[in-house]
Structure formats: C-alpha cells, structure tokens
Amino acid sequence: MLSKRLFSTSSRQLTKVAVSKLGNGITVITKPSSGKQAVGVYLNSGSRAENAYNSGISTLLGNLVTSSKSSKDALVNEGVKYYSSNAKEVTGLLSATYPRGNSKGALSAIKNTLESLESIVSDEVVLGEQKEKSIALTEAFENSPKDMVIEHMIGTAFQGTTLGLPKYGKAETIEVLQSLDLKNYLSKNLVSSNIAIVSVGDEINHESLAKFASQLPSINSGAKADFPETSFLGSDIRLRDDTLPQAHAAISVLTPGLHDTHAYYTGLVAAQINGSYEGVASPFSPFVGSTLAQLLEENHLIDSFDHFQLAYSDVGLWGGYFASHNVGCYDETIHFALKNWNRFSTGTVNEIEFAKAKAELKLRLLKAPACPVQHSESLATKAFALGYVPSEEEISSNVDSVTSSAISKWAQKYLYDQDIAIAGNGQIEALFDYNRIRNDIMYTRSFLRARPALKSFHRSKQLLRTYATSSGGGRSKTNHFIPLTLLGLTALGLTFYNAGNNVKPPTAAIDPTTSTVQGSALFPSEKFKDPINVVFVLGGPGSGKGTQCGKLVKDYKFVHLSAGDLLRLEKNTPGSEFGELIDHYIKEGLIVPQEITINLLKNAIVKEYNNGSRNFLIDGFPRKMDQAISFENTVSEGKLVLYFECPEEIMLKRLLNRGKTSGRSDDNLESIKKRFTTFIETSMPVVEYFEDQNKVIKVNCNEPVDEVYSHVVKELKDKKII
C-alpha cells in the first residue's frame, strides 16, 4: 500500500511575492528568500518581439551588456556578476547576483549600466566580438538534440509568426546586425511599460526596489507594443541525420496560454501523469515511474522521454519529446506513446496515477529554482503574462482543483483528433509520415468498450511479428513474447474497466450534418423513414470489388457507391474545393480525410434514397476505424461487410494490367505498393471490428469471377440481404 507521505506537500512557511506597477509604468517584483541574492531588469520582449530580419538581436544585446566595461567594473568594484538570458516573450537584459551586504552596490551598478546602454551598443569592436559569441550560442543550441527538436517543433507549429522564431536567433541575421539596429530595438522595447525589475532575496525590500525603479532617469515612458498575432499550423519538419546514434522527435497539440488558468493547470497535470523518463539516468526504476515509462522500457523502445505544457501569454503547446536508440522500431515508440495519450480522452487514468502526478507536480511547481537568476526570470515571465505572480497557495489550489473528469474534457477538446506539430532529428527513417502519426491522436479500438476485448491482442501480435523480423532491434521472438503478452493483457483489462465503469468515448470526429431526409440531422435514431441496407465492400486494391459489385447491381438492383470513384469525380470537378487535396492523397496512396469522404457518400446515399433505393453497396469504405465509427454515428449502421481476400501478387498483376488502360494516377507500381501498405495497416482493424460483431462475409477471390460471384450471392441470401 502506498504511504500517504507520498502524496503530502511540504509544511514549510510559504513566502509571498509582492508585485506593484509604478506610476511610470515599470513593474516591480520582490520575492523574499534566505538563499542567494539577485536583482535584474527584464523586458517583455524576447524572440517574439523580433522579426525575420533581426532575429537574435535580443541575445546579442544581452551578450553586449554582460561583456561591457560596466559589467567588468561591477564585478571588480562591487562583486556584482552580470547574466543575460532570452526566451520567447522575456529578455533578461541584465540579472545580477551580489554578495550579502552589498545590495546598494548592485543597484548602483545596474543604474550605471542602464545609463551606458547607448555607448555599449555603439562599440563596433565589441559588437563584432559578441556577434561571434551569439552565433556560437545558436550553434551550441542546435547541437543539443532535445533542445533543438523542441525548438523546431515550436517553429513549425507557429511558422510564419514571430512566436516561431528561434529564441536565440539565427546565425545569418545576427551576422548582419549593426549598431543602428540595436538602438532601434532599444527605442521600441526599453520603455517603462515593458520593464520589470525583479529582486529575489531578503536584502532588498519591496519599498526600496520601488523607490529605485521610480528614480531611473534613463528609461523612456511609452506604451508596450503588443506581440503580433500568432496562429497554429498542423505540420512537421524533419532533419534526418544518420550520424546521430538515436532518433529524436517532439510532438504537440495547440492549447490555451497562461491566461486560461484551468486549461493550463489541467495540461500540467496531464503532462505529469505521463511524466518523464531518463533511462539509466532516472532517479527511479521504471516500475515506480509512469505507466508509459514501464511500457516503453519493458519493450526496449525508449532511452528518454519528457512531457511538457509550454504556455505563453496567449497560446500554448502540450506534447512530448521521445529519444530512442532502437531506431528500427521508432514508429512503435511513437505509436504506443500517442495511444497512451488517448487514455486522457476516455478517463482510464487510475486514481493512484492521478494522485501521484498531482503531488509530484505541486512539489515541482512550489520548489523555487536553486539559481536566483532563473527564479527572477520565472517571476518576470508570470507577471508579464498574467499581470501578477500566483501565490504558492494559489498554485497548490489550482493543482488540487484538477479532476479526472476535467482532464477527460480537456483531452477531448484539445488533444483528441487535433492537428499536431512534429519535429524529428537523427535516425528517423522509421518515423511515420504526418498523417499516420495524426491518426494515432484519434481513438481506435479501446474506447469501443462494448466489443469483445480480445481485439486488444491484435496489436500485440503485430508488434511481436515486427520484433521477430526486425533487424533494427536484433531481438528474438522468445525474448518479447512475455512482455508483449502482458501488454495485451493490460489492454484487455483496461477495456473491461471501461465497460464496467461506463466510460464515455470521445465525441465523434465530425458533427452530424443536416440532410434533406425528413429535413433533420442524420442522428442514429432518425436517419431514414424506411430502413436501408448498407453493405461495406472491402478488400485490397485489385481484389475484384468493383467487378462483383457490378454484378450485384445488375442482378439485384443494388446502388453501387465507390468511395474511390466519388473522390476521383470530386477531384476532377472544375472548381472543386477539395480537388487538389484529394489528388495529393490518392497519388501518395494515403487515406483522404474522413470528413470529405463521408460527406460525399452521405450526399450520394440521400440522393438515391429519395429516388427510391434502399440497398447500397459501399465499395472501398470504411478504410479506417474512425471512418467506420463516424459513418455509423452520422449516416447509417453497416449491415454487413463483404471482405474479398486475394493474394498480394495477384492483386499487383491485376492492377498493373489495369493501369495500361485505366488512366488512373494511382495505377502505378509505387502507388500500388503504398496502397497495399495502407490497407494492411489501417483497414484490417476495420475488418476485425466488424468480424467481432459477426458481420463479415469473407470471399476468396483467387477463383474465377463467376465462382466468386456465386459464393457472394449465397452468403447474401443466407443473411437475408437479397
């Protein structure tokens, strides 16, 4: 049994932060502390106040200040050490640590430096030296795989906006910056309403610091310029480098910023539940870490990972970073990590995990940084974004207020079926393309709680086959049978847990849309006045689906709707809104977004229904689990699935022959192979899903056409469809 001590927080005396905004516009922040002393000047600027032509100017300015004559004099004469920093929305122009008993010397040194800023940025010799130092900093940052891949993830998420600029800048822009650029930057950003003066320690009280700030003669008054608006774009960036020993990737979704307190703390708790793992460097065994750490470590899929809730003044990113030496199975690393994220949507995080994460999060948030300079920057960041600094009591209360149901609602709104930003680096050949990773954000099997839970083993068996044949990991089938069987049993247990606790699934990926049928929305209880029979026709490309459907249409008056034909028709329709998008997906052998396909099918069914038809063959659909669920929720239940089984070599031969005359852009060897892969990976789970409901008719297509047709007719008659 777990001790209550694990979930307790420290009973130490909580210290409050004092925040004031002076009449001249400067924000003054003091935090009593008995440790090291620091005082600093911060700008509400950061890389977000830069642009594509001066990216890195904040970093350069900070380096100029810390290397200036004023900085050297402060150290020699007062024992005051200068530091600078830069983040997305905050620039640490200068932060000073000082020995006890010399707070006046520290404040005097800061005042002298602020008064000398114009001369500091005008020294061309020092400017040239500090350009090289700033460029070296950007290069060092790029050589840190974790820092670099997360920075690139932010860059692709907010590409085209200033939030997407690197926080330390770009070497090519730093190299051409001049003294005039720095002076212009200071005139816009070194204004009173954009400044916070922060003290951490017990030597400078709030009243003294406010008096100091009000008497600074070198600060111009003026309004702070708002940050340019930003926007999120689901996208990815990949920098494959096979000289690195690992694969690295960071994946995130868009969340609210610091202004949305409830969403921010809910995201923090969710990130803490999955937590972090540092492999051999972890202070604990994976068995006392998160469930994700246990799963990935047990199957040798991870070296380290870290989950995060990044938050800025108006937007945020929630996600995770994953590094693995098992590069051949990196697709499995990402797959299982994202499937673990889906537990938030369904509320299957257990109470022990939940309580443990909240306790750990409070300890982390309430523990002040050991470095007073870092502590000062943290206080300035919160004050700029929120207008105040939350007290420790408020932080603790905000964490405690997060409930399991709140996490489920948060995940269904911001995580489930949302666009993602991806950055990859290193040996990432096995990292799936954007759309396949995007699909893992959507729930597939485990929220279908009413279905037999044995389907949870299918993924385990598939992974077992992968390990048995993969050269990347070099491990045998025997070595992984036990852990992967346990993995399947875990999924089995979670499925029964969901069923017993009546856990609701996430909302549908698309909303029911209004139809001409009865003039109402197509909800399951009121779709059509007369019942209809929808038979899904599935099989690999070239298995003969179209041929058999044609015969059924001729003999039994079915309406044959081919999802592929409808998409190609839409693609070729002049002025089509989705034509170019559909063309890209078809050529790449990928699955077209379900919203488009389902809408085309729905419109076609409604049209034929109004013409008196009641029996429908839907050829080549659904090809993914989310398509099946959304179609049944918004259009009609599927009565049966005709599944045409055919050897791949025969299908390939048929398609290549068809390609000589069909004129179809996807009847070529490269597209065909992609379509085979896509069918196996995404469509077979659909067949298994309907097979569990006893709705699948399997037909062997490696026979003459008429024999295949006779078997189809017999089965449909037995099922009373015809």
Q: Is-contact 696 532, C-beta < 8 A?
A: no
Which class for 440: exposed (0-12), middle (13-18), buried (19 or more C-beta within 10 A)?
A: buried
HSE-CB of 419 using CA atoms within 13 angstroms: 12
- State whether residue 641 is helix, strand or coil: strand
**Mapping DSSP to helix (H, G, I), strand (E, B) and coil, where does residue 127 land?**
helix
Bridge-based pairing of strands 27-31 and 195-200 is parallel
* Spacing of C-alpha 4 from chain mean position: 34
For residues 699 and 702, give the distance between their C-alpha atoms in angstroms, rounded to a whole number.
Answer: 9
Say if residue 298 is exposed, middle or buried (CB neighbours under 10 Å; 0-12, 13-18, 19+): middle
Distance CA 672, CA 650 (A): 12
Annotated binding site: 542-547, 568, 590-592, 620-623, 627, 658, 664, 675, 703
Question: Positive or negative CA dihedral for 660, 665, 670, 673?
Answer: negative
Q: In this structure, how many other beta carbons lie within 10 angstroms of the beta carbon of residue 285?
A: 10
53: amino acid identity, one letter: Y
Nearest to 323 by CA among 400, 245, 256, 253: 245
Annotated binding site for a ribonucleoside 5'-phosphate: 568, 590-592, 620-623, 627, 664, 675
Residues for the chain: how many in total? 722
Binding-site residue numbers for ATP are 542-547, 658, 703
Of 451, 456, 452, which Cα lies nearest the Cα of 632?
451
Residue 448 has φ and ψ, to the nearest 5°, of: -85, 70
Amino acid at 232: F
CA separation, residue 53 to residues 45, 56, 178, 356 (Å): 16, 9, 12, 47
